[in-house]
Structure 1
Amino acid sequence: MRYTIASIIASAILTISASAACTPSSVDTAGLQKLITDGGAGYTLQLCASQVYELSEQLNYTAANQEISTEGYPTDDTRATLKMVGFNKTTSVMAQDTGLNGAKLKNIQINGNRLDNEDIYTAGGGNIEFGGQNQNQVIEYVKSYDPRGWSCLHLAEGTFNCLNITVQNNDIGPCGRDYFQNWADGISLSCADSLVQNNNIVDATDGGIVVFGAPSSVIRNNTINVKTRTMLGGINMVDVLPWLPEGNFSNTLVESNNIYGGFATQLGNDTFGSNNASAIIKIGIAVGPNVWFSDGRYGTNKSTGAIIKDNLFSGAFAFGMGISSADNFTISNNSFVGNTSFIGTYGPNCTTEAKTPHQPVPLLLEPDSVQDLNLTLPPDSEFQFVNGTALGLTCFMPPTSGDFWPYGEGFNSVPSPTDPESTSPTSGGGAGNGASSSPATTSSPSSGATSPISSSQGWILGSVLGLLSGTLILL
């Protein structure tokens, strides 16, 4: 058979188009689901860059090693978007049924489409539901935001047989609203032996990363920050269920995470300014159920067995760390960088009398409720743990106005923990009510003052031209 130049070029274009074709957004939800189901094990549903796919139902993975991703694997806002528009639906992608080992969600955006005037949907799951009965799943370079339900990304434990999910390089948030019981998590981790790393989490109003035990998991090198919505916690280790024995965080490692509370958005005095959203993180790292729940729902159960080390805090919090009802934890070398403040007033849900929580401080420990705690701070730490009642600390409310937020680098940006100027404990700090430089005895709460404590597509064309060049040479 004699091949002409035209036929060779046409064949090349068809071959390239077939190998690189993405599924357009004109395909409806049922059509997308059929592609996944018919594709079988190892199938990749490749969506088109910069297109929005409106979902009337969740998309379900149906076989092992399937993938949903964007053509070309972009990492910016050209990633395809799955937008949930179905009535009373909360989950966009689901990979929790049996037989879904190796499921992947990569380089895509998930818009939960919770409207500004909507309350949280009290039934249903998160934007993304992975884990369950499976192992070796991957979620990376995904942006997940505005969930209608309780989490931007949920990694479920199954029947305690979920193992080895990798969650990395994702953009998470905003998640939820910062008004009562309308909160949502950023990443909710309950799958054991998992890796959660290098994620950027913004305005996840419940917890930035909530660890539900997830024994032998590693949570490291994540950045958690607040911009316009107050967060209850940065990293939470307070839920003693579902893992058994209750409170099982054994060998879970939380290390080298950067947690940034609010910074001033308006100029004020030399040291502090106001924040136009009154946004803080109430507890940077929360350990133990009593820190979170003041109603005694977990009785004498404790969070047990984790390691928390080398994490950095900066900005405005009520508490940098709060520790209560914990057993056999190693907590070491966690430090404050740049400018900080510790602010808040007692809210309507705070307990009273003997159970009234301690006023905001950088580091709060309830010594009578912990045991076998290996607790150390950097030798040059400006702050030490203060002993006091650490019960239901999320009840504190940020100031609604006033110059209580510290300045960040460039006025209101997140400081860099690697910048020597920003890591100086006194960088840009101002006078205030200083924390005790040595452990204090349990103290009585003050009247709830808010004064801060401070311290300072062209590859296709190239391929065609390359083939054309080769064809001319052959001729």
Structure 2
Amino acid sequence: MFTDGGPGTKVWLCPGTTYRITSTIAFTAADQQLATLGYKSGSERAVLKIDNPALATAIQGDCRRCARVAIRNVIVDGGRAAFGRVREQHAPGLVVLGGNEGQSVRESWITDPRGFTAIHVREGDKLSCKGAVIERNEIGPVGEEYDPAVDGPDPEMSPLGRPLADGISIACRDSVVRDNKIWDCTDAGIVVYCSPGTQVAANRIMTLRRSAMGGILMVDATPFDGDYSGVVVKDNILDAASRAMRVGVGVGLSILSDDIDTILRGGSVISNVLKGMYMGFGIAAAGLKGWTIRDNHSDARHQGKRSPRCFDEPVNPAPTRFLYHAETITESKIQDGFVDSDFAYIVCIDGLEDGTEVHADELDDVVEEAPEAAAPPPPPAAAGAAAGAADTLSTGSDVLDGILHHSQARLLEGIADMGKYIDALKRAEQPPRGAQAHAEAEADPRSLA
């Protein structure tokens, strides 16, 4: 339809309908849009569900002519639970955009990619990507936890394909990643590949049933040669609620390696909040020039145990709120309270909670797993106190159950938002926007192949 329609084509999907796709939906021209009719939310959004063991990318919009293409109000299920990982070293993302200007993903739920990330915004062959907007989405769960017994000594070389995956991977100038709720991304919730001028703001990243290497990572010098000028990571909440988050915000190559020679330039990390019982290092920084790190706060418990994957030298310090290697940081403004230490590959720690069960009273948000044959598992409801109530909502009708879950989620969101507002008054912060409602109902399948 996009090929035949040309620039400006809008493809409307029927609300509440699941479309099983066997080939990639590809944008082909400028200003095209894929959306649920009426821009529905929650369980009324259309579901695009991969139904092909050879397919990893559901939607692709990184063509040379794809300026301002948009994805709105849809659910995209990558099918890793059904088909497993893609056994390629560089498996593609579930939603792939980039190489152009003004592209967007809004108010959608992206889950269970088979490749390395849920949303990939590429820089383009000539670093031409700019002005992408990724906002008000729900992303998760994403990837599988690394298991040396299954994957071998290096997750990158696992015979089953790479287990870990990111929520959002962005390499695009002057972009915005904001107000997204992201959970259970086993690599990192958000990875910023330089992306000069980009703002990452008011996102909430949680570990509920799967551990994560990191919350927000800026640990690459490519593809913009270490240029993070104008990048602002601000007002995000990193919540290690019930599984390990090994580092909340990581800045510099030595987060994932022993490289202290490569320098990342510019950028700011401001007014982010760390919380949860299972946080490793809160903010860790090394190999920087011209950065500002200020007004960040931790209410988390910082813990973790050294694993065999750690290097022998240097010996990393114990997990702490704020860590930096001062010798490798120049012309930067760093808030008080940072511990100065040499370190390398600090994500080599394991959480002390590994193997424990999730308890409702431990969580601010809970994921309720859905049957394998249904739509993807619903996003976290927004009130831990009432988490158990979701298990009782069963009428025998998927449609009615979806309506009940939707209503419950909206009510719980209201309660949670009030609590967040009260907390925000105490901290003088703006609370993040709540998640969209549950998405469980599955109607008659159709094909967009």
Same fold (TM > 0.5): yes
Picking from 414, 419, 422, the partner of 2:422 is: 419
Contact 2:221-2:264 within 8 A present in 1 as well: yes
* Paired residue type of 1:319: F
Match of 1:262 in 2: 241
* Paired residue type of 1:200: K
Picking from 201, 223, 240, the partner of 2:221 is: 240
Contact 1:322-1:390 within 8 A present in 2 as well: no
Considering only aligned residues, what root-mean-square deviation do their CA atoms show, in Å? 2.4
Instruction: List aligned pairs for 1:17-28, cutoff 5 A.
Output: none
1:174-228: CA deviation from partner (whole Å, max 9, x where unpaired): 1101115311000101011101111110111111110000000111111111110
| SS of equivalent to 2:110 | strand
Q: Distance in 2 between matches of 1:192 and 1:51?
A: 35
Picking from 127, 137, 159, the partner of 1:170 is: 137
Match of 1:137 in 2: 103
Q: Distance in 1 between matches of 2:298 and 2:82?
A: 34
Match of 1:282 in 2: 246
Tell which deviates more after alignment, 52-61 or 397-406: 397-406
Q: CA deviation at 1:311?
A: 0.8
Match of 1:88 in 2: 54
| SS of equivalent to 2:107 | strand
| SS of equivalent to 1:37 | helix
Instruction: List aligned pairs for 1:111-260, cutoff 5 A.
Output: 111-115=77-81, 118-122=84-88, 123-132=90-99, 134-158=100-124, 159-180=126-147, 181=155, 182-243=163-224, 246-260=225-239
| SS of equivalent to 1:115 | helix
Q: CA deviation at 1:370?
A: 1.5
If asked which structure has higher relative contact order (CA below 8 Å, sep 6+), I would say: 2
Contact 2:53-2:83 within 8 A present in 1 as well: no
Contact 1:238-1:288 within 8 A present in 2 as well: yes
Match of 2:257 in 1: 293
Are 2:289 and 1:327 equivalent residues in the alignment? yes
Contact 1:120-1:176 within 8 A present in 2 as well: no
Distance 1:157 1:397, change over 3 A: same
Match of 2:348 in 1: 395
Q: Distance in 2 between matches of 1:282 and 1:423?
A: 27
Q: CA deviation at 1:87?
A: 3.1
**Structure 1, unaligned runs of 5 or more:** 1-34, 264-278, 378-383, 425-475
Contact 1:89-1:124 within 8 A present in 2 as well: no
Distance 1:411 1:81, change over 3 A: closer
TM-score by length of 2: 0.76
| SS of equivalent to 1:394 | helix
Greater Rg over alpha carbons, structure = 1
Are 2:342 and 1:342 equivalent residues in the alignment? no
* Paired residue type of 1:325: G
| SS of equivalent to 2:143 | coil
Q: Distance in 2 between matches of 1:401 and 1:71?
A: 43
Contact 1:343-1:404 within 8 A present in 2 as well: no
Q: CA deviation at 1:419?
A: 3.1
Match of 1:436 in 2: none
* Paired residue type of 1:44: K
Q: CA deviation at 1:262?
A: 2.2
Q: Distance in 2 between matches of 1:402 and 1:184?
A: 22
Instruction: List aligned pairs for 1:392-471, cutoff 5 A.
Output: 392-399=345-352, 400=354, 418-420=421-423
| SS of equivalent to 1:419 | helix
Q: Distance in 2 between matches of 1:331 and 1:204?
A: 25
Distance 1:79 1:408, change over 3 A: closer
TM-score by length of 1: 0.72
Q: CA deviation at 1:423?
A: 5.9
Q: Distance in 1 between matches of 2:244 and 2:342?
A: 21
Q: Distance in 2 between matches of 1:419 and 1:361?
A: 27
Distance 1:89 1:241, change over 3 A: same
Are 2:22 and 1:56 equivalent residues in the alignment? yes
Distance 1:370 1:143, change over 3 A: same
Q: Distance in 1 between matches of 2:386 and 2:26?
A: 42
Distance 1:136 1:227, change over 3 A: same
* Paired residue type of 1:392: Y
1:267-316: CA deviation from partner (whole Å, max 9, x where unpaired): xxxxxxxxxxxx1111000010012213x4xx611222001101111112
Are 2:339 and 1:386 equivalent residues in the alignment? yes
Distance 1:326 1:421, change over 3 A: closer
**Structure 2, unaligned runs of 5 or more:** 148-154, 156-162, 365-383, 388-415, 428-449
| SS of equivalent to 1:54 | strand
Contact 2:208-2:363 within 8 A present in 1 as well: no
Q: CA deviation at 1:118?
A: 2.6
Q: Distance in 2 between matches of 1:407 and 1:320?
A: 20
Q: CA deviation at 1:77?
A: 2.2
Are 2:327 and 1:360 equivalent residues in the alignment? no
1:16-49: CA deviation from partner (whole Å, max 9, x where unpaired): xxxxxxxxxxxxxxxxxxx121111111110111
Q: CA deviation at 1:418?
A: 4.0
Match of 2:402 in 1: none
* Paired residue type of 1:216: G
Identity %: 26
Q: Distance in 2 between matches of 1:129 and 1:224?
A: 21
Q: CA deviation at 1:390?
A: 2.6
| SS of equivalent to 1:176 | coil
Contact 1:168-1:197 within 8 A present in 2 as well: yes
Count of aligned positions: 360
Picking from 95, 99, 105, the partner of 2:71 is: 105
| SS of equivalent to 2:44 | coil
Contact 2:93-2:116 within 8 A present in 1 as well: yes
1:387-411: CA deviation from partner (whole Å, max 9, x where unpaired): 1223101100112368999956657
Q: Distance in 2 between matches of 1:115 and 1:403?
A: 20
